[in-house]
Amino acid sequence: MITTIGQFFKIEYGQKEYHNKERLEGSDGQNILISSTGEDNGIFGFFDISNNYQAPFITVPSTGTVGQAFIQEQDCSVDDNCLVLMPIKKLSKEELFQIAFQIRLNKWKYRYGRQITPERLATQKISLIDSKLSYEKISQKLLPKKVSKVKIKTNTNIKLKRVDEICDILKKSALPQNTMDLDGTPYVTTTSKDNGVSNWVNEEPNAKGKCLTVALNGSVG
């Protein structure tokens, strides 16, 4: 069956109140915020916020990794760097994955200044087929089986200690990167790449070297 995305979804931009992430500083929690990152299913972090959208649905970044569609299988919030595709009628997971895959195949159309918008995405043609594949069955095969009883032996050669017994745990803050000039001080943030360093700036260091840093959001942990 060949049709258009707009026949299956209500398409809108995500929540404008989460465009500026500074307001989320210090509000770590259990609920997911989706943004325009192309990794980790679009998850920006976990915060103490209410879930605005009920799963399952599709998110599509309109900035950053434009067109990198993800299926959201948990209730969550989405910022306005993404389009939110809420099914008008119930769709199976297999159908959602077919549609997300076809959106990704067409993301090249939104390069060189041509923006992805609800109106443009709604007109994209898609083809849905009756699939014999079952997402649930495949998941069960790939996921490890639960073990009812696991006996863990204590390693007596290693003495376990709490982290706060050997380290002072501090929460640091700094000015936003875009307010600083480039220079020689590493600016460590929540990125999982380059040892957490996202830039080199002209501020005095607020932490001594030879320490551990742990991301509180983004690439948590």
Tens of pLDDT, residue by residue over 127-162, are 998 877 777 777 777 888 777 777 878 778 888 889
Query: Would residue 194 count as lying in a domain?
Result: yes
How many structural domains is the chain composed of? 2
Domain hosting 201: range is 152-221
Beta strands 43-47; 28-34: pairing state: antiparallel
Nearest to 75 by CA among 103, 118, 104, 34: 34
Q: How confident is the model at residue 95 (pLDDT cuts 50, 70, 90)?
A: very high
Q: Please say whether the beta carbons of 58 and 72 come within 8 A.
A: yes
* Residues paired with residue 182 on neighbouring β-strands, in sequence order: 201
pLDDT tens digits along 85-94: 999 999 999 9
Nearest to 82 by CA among 177, 24, 176, 18: 18
Predicted confidence at residue 192, as pLDDT, reads 82
Q: How far apart, in whole angstroms, are the C-alpha atoms of residue 99 and residue 151?
A: 44
Q: Are residues 61 and 119 in the same domain?
A: yes
> What single DSSP character describes residue 179?
G
Distances (CA, A) of 163 to 154, 160, 166: 19, 9, 6
Q: Are residues 103 and 187 in the same domain?
A: no
- Greater pLDDT, 78 or 140: 78
Q: Are residues 39 and 90 in the same domain?
A: yes
Q: Are residues 36 and 111 in the same domain?
A: yes
How many H-runs (helices) and E-runs (strands) does the chain carry? 4, 11
| DSSP H/E element including 165 | helix 163-166
pTM above 0.85, yes or no: no
Q: Are residues 21 and 115 in the same domain?
A: yes
